Structure 1
């Protein structure tokens, strides 16, 4: 295990509107506010999105299992923001529910807010953490 100790910086309360893409909005928000490291929590609704619900096997590099959301779903999620090269990268894992169906996974593509989605973003300061390409997994992973 590798780690660094940091401090809480600014704390933002955000609201995403119906139809917005929260991954895109969080990326632009991090760029605008120059947030290099952060943790965030989401609560609200999504009506679309593609997410990964695990790899097909324990082999590396992993082959993702893709799933989709269609129609409104409740969401509760947690994520991080760390930069890869010149761009903030969002890593978001959530639980998505509708009626008696509950799904969970890493939201990666085209999420769309249903009605409203709220976020609390807590900046982490005094750390030097980035994302970088990992050859073994062929993924962009946290580098501490």
Structure 2
């Protein structure tokens, strides 16, 4: 295990509106406010989203299993944001539900908001935490 102690900084409360791209708007906010790291809480709904719902098998690096939704689903998500070479990298795990059907996974693409998503970002300062590509896992990992 690797870890660092930090402190909480600013707290942002945001509304992402119908038709907007959730991940793009979060990136814009992180860049505009110069947020280096943070915790994300998201509640609302998405019209479309592409998410990874797990690995095909327990291999390293994993082969992701993708699912795409386009049927307007309720959303509850929690995640992190750290920077990689100055760019914000989001790790947003969410449950997307409609009726009795629920998908849980990591939203990676196509995150169009339906009606509204409310987002709270708690800034983390002083850790030096970043994301760097890890060849063994095949994706960007938390590092210091």
TM-score category of the 2 structures, normalised to the smaller one: over 0.9
Match of residue 134 from structure 2: 134
Rounded Cα–Cα distance in structure 2 between residues aligned with 1:122 and 1:49: 24
Q: Return 5+ residue gaps in structure 2 as ranges.
A: none
Q: How does 1:17-96 map to 2 (within 5 A)?
A: 17-96=17-96
Rounded Cα–Cα distance in structure 2 between residues aligned with 1:135 and 1:114: 36
Rounded Cα–Cα distance in structure 2 between residues aligned with 1:138 and 1:105: 17
Q: Return 5+ residue gaps in structure 1 as ranges.
A: none
Q: Secondary structure in 1 aligned to 2:128?
A: coil
User: How much has 1:111 moved relative to structure 2?
Assistant: 0.8
Rounded Cα–Cα distance in structure 1 between residues aligned with 2:40 and 2:86: 20
Query: C-alpha offsets along residues 106-143 of structure 1, whole Å, 9 cap, x if unaligned?
Result: 00011100001000100001110000010111211111
Rounded Cα–Cα distance in structure 1 between residues aligned with 2:90 and 2:24: 9
Query: C-alpha offsets along residues 30-69 of structure 1, whole Å, 9 cap, x if unaligned?
Result: 1110000100100001010100000111111111000011
Rounded Cα–Cα distance in structure 2 between residues aligned with 1:77 and 1:40: 8
What TM-score, normalized by structure 1, do the two folds share? 0.97
Q: Secondary structure in 2 aligned to 1:107?
A: strand
User: How much has 1:28 moved relative to structure 2?
Assistant: 1.2
User: How much has 1:86 moved relative to structure 2?
Assistant: 2.1
Match of residue 12 from structure 2: 12
Instruction: Give the number of aligned pairs.
Output: 144
Q: Secondary structure in 2 aligned to 1:28?
A: helix
